[in-house]
Amino acid sequence: MSKLLEVKDLEVSFDTYAGEVKAVRGVSFDLRKGEAIAIVGESGCGKSVTAQSIMRLIPSPPGRVKNGTIIFNDIEILSLNERQMQAVRGSEMGMIFQDPMTSLNPTMTVGRQIQEVLTKHSKITKKEAALKCAEMLQLVGIPNPIMRLKQYPHEYSGGMRQRAMIAMALACGPKLLIADEPTTALDVTIQAQILDLMRELQRKLDTAIILITHDLGVVADLAERVIVMYAGKIVEYGSVEDIYYNPKHPYTWGLLKSVPRLDSHNKEQLMPIDGTPPDLFSPPVGCSFAARCDYAMKVCHHCEPDYFDVSNGHKTACWLMHEYASGIEISILKGV
Ligand code: SF4
Ligand code: MG
């Protein structure tokens, strides 16, 4: 499969009165055509900022991309002007958010809103657009689409609004759909239905997906690969199996313990991760997780860990993976 997206060394900061917040600090990953990946981490870890950078939706000022490249479909996104970027957004990339009401206009019927997206990004007649709208609602599982198109967002339930937003995001057949906490506001049953729908559409339409979530429990059924972010950095990435069954970073262990597993019946007590993420005004010198990590060694407070290969395609930034981080040689590391 060929590459659809390549993010390299991305650094994003926000300038505030209190100083520079380093929200994303050197993030690199890629995505193949039609592939689904999840970016997981606590709030403030930089996952939404990463997604917004790809869509070029970072409010600037105060935000700015300080460094890095984002190649989407062979185009360097960061060098496009706003007009060029608008053409990419909507037709090539779609985005859905936690709260559909932030994207749906309460004063317009759902039909008109989808129609506007369609006529803005492709040369079709109003009649064709109307037909396509009904098709889209049907595709996302909204029954009675002709009647539903004439309704306003407030006449929809929460789950239906999320479906309508997916219909809108997919109307122009984008190659990439970015879903930022798309199910967080929904109850568990509806949440599962929306994730099922996204998976079905990903396969049917061959749309690549970046799912952003704080909940590792919801990614297993949708994503093929998982990126775990902490304090603006990627701390571990690998296939869903790697992350679920062979996680190597203590933060990933913490995340796995702190979420209910949809695929498990064990009644183990859920454990939140103690402590809070570091201040991104002045991130720590060593490992960003050191202050909260039960396994922290002396080296962790002084040197930032490299990425260590766990297996093919599975990497983690943790000194525990260093060949000396066991037995007697640990003293060498501790002596830093
Ligand atoms: Fe914990 Fe050290 Fe690994 Fe950081 S590098 S996660 S502090 S063991
Ligand atoms: Mg967010």
Which residue's CA lies nearest to atom 5 of ligand 1? 318
Average pLDDT over residues 46-53: 95
**Does residue 154 sit within a domain?**
no
- Residue 189 Cα to ligand 1 midpoint, Å, equals 36
Q: Over 90: is that where the pLDDT of 323 sits? A: no
CATH number at residue 181: 3.40.50.300
**Does residue 213 sit within a domain?**
yes
**Cα torsion through 229, 235, 236, 237, rounded to 10:** 50
Find out whether 5 and 68 touch, Cβ atoms under 8 Å: no
DSSP 8-state class, residue 28: E
**Does residue 115 sit within a domain?**
no
**Does residue 19 sit within a domain?**
yes
ipTM over 0.90: yes
Find out whether 280 and 231 touch, Cβ atoms under 8 Å: yes
Which residue's CA lies nearest to atom 3 of ligand 1? 318
**Does residue 105 sit within a domain?**
no
Provide the token pair at 277.
């993420």
- Residue 309 Cα to ligand 1 midpoint, Å, equals 15
Quote the domain boundaries for residue 319. 3-92+174-334
pLDDT digits (tens, 9 = 90+) for 97-135: 887 777 789 999 999 999 988 888 878 888 898 899 999
Q: Over 90: is that where the pLDDT of 154 sits? A: yes
**Does residue 147 sit within a domain?**
no
Q: Give the 3-state secondary structure of residue 45.
A: coil
Provide the token pair at 292.
């909260």
Among 17-26, 65-74, 82-91, the minimum mean pLDDT is found in 82-91
pLDDT of residue 258: 79
Ligand 1 atom closest to the Cα of residue 287 is 4
Instruction: Note the pTM of the prediction, 2 decimals.
Output: 0.91
pLDDT digits (tens, 9 = 90+) for 230-246: 999 999 999 999 999 99
**Does residue 296 sit within a domain?**
yes
**Does residue 71 sit within a domain?**
yes
- Residue 272 Cα to ligand 1 midpoint, Å, equals 18
Q: Over 60: is that where the pLDDT of 214 sits? A: yes
Q: Over 70: is that where the pLDDT of 328 sits? A: no
Which residue's CA lies nearest to atom 7 of ligand 1? 290
Task: Give the chain's domain count.
Answer: 1
Q: Which positions ≥6 away from 175 have C-beta within 8 Å?
A: 4, 33, 73, 92, 93, 207, 208
Find out whether 102 and 184 touch, Cβ atoms under 8 Å: no
Ligand 1 neighbours, Cβ below 6 Å, are 249-250, 287, 289-290, 293, 295-297, 300, 305, 318-320
Q: Over 90: is that where the pLDDT of 316 sits? A: yes
